Structure 1
């Protein structure tokens, strides 16, 4: 169950922000097998003075750059991650129209026992522990 945080400059409409989150979630599901109900996501909007991103390294970016940080359980291969990156930028290019160069992605992988989705339970499958 990944936790996703997206940072962007202020000013985009709610429909744009929603499309970004939904695009990320759908790509996590289709490319990495994340459960369809496992969405825990935030958008943080920043004024220009609080959002410093290199606009030319290693290639040109626009002011619409998105910083996407996703924490998820470890275990995906490098090929899986590459497929996710490519699928995500393609999906966000289609809707809401984000330039692929403007999608900066950082995956943070952690062990399953580093998660507690609630009720003080740990691990990936807390519902089975709750039933016990």
Structure 2
């Protein structure tokens, strides 16, 4: 049950922002097996003075830089994450013409007990039906 936050400079359309979130969610589902209904996502837009990022290291970036931070339950392999990165960059490039250099992704992994989806329940699987949880575990 990931939590996703995207930071970007102000000025993109609502359709662009919605597509960014949709592409991230679809990539999480398709590349990492995240439950299709597990989406908790935000975007924050920043004026130029409030958005500082190196635009030349380790390669050139445009003002359209997306800083994407995703918190996930721990347990995915480096290969899983690489597959996700490539999948997401491909979707953003195809759907929005985002330059791959402008997609900066940070994944934070946490233990399952560090999630509470609400109602004081603990653990990310506390609200996923057993059949879905088993299928999800098999997909990882």
Q: Which band: TM-score by shorter chain?
A: over 0.9
The DSSP-based 3-state class of the residue aligned with 2:36 is coil
Which residue in 2 is equivalent to 1:85? 85
Which residue in 2 is equivalent to 1:124? 124
Q: Unpaired runs of 5+ in structure 2?
A: 129-140
Determine whether 1:12 maps to 2:23: no
C-alpha displacement of 1:125: 1.9
The separation in 2 between residues aligned to 1:127 and 1:26, in whole angstroms, is: 20
Q: Unpaired runs of 5+ in structure 1?
A: none
Where does 1:92-107 land on structure 2 (aligned, <5 Å)? 92-107=92-107
The separation in 2 between residues aligned to 1:36 and 1:105, in whole angstroms, is: 20
Segment drifting more, 31-40 vs 92-101: 92-101
Runs ≥4 residues deviating over 6 A:
none
C-alpha displacement of 1:56: 0.3
Which residue in 2 is equivalent to 1:110? 110
C-alpha displacement of 1:127: 2.8
Q: Which has the higher helix share?
A: 2
Aligned length: 129
Which residue in 1 is equivalent to 2:21? 21
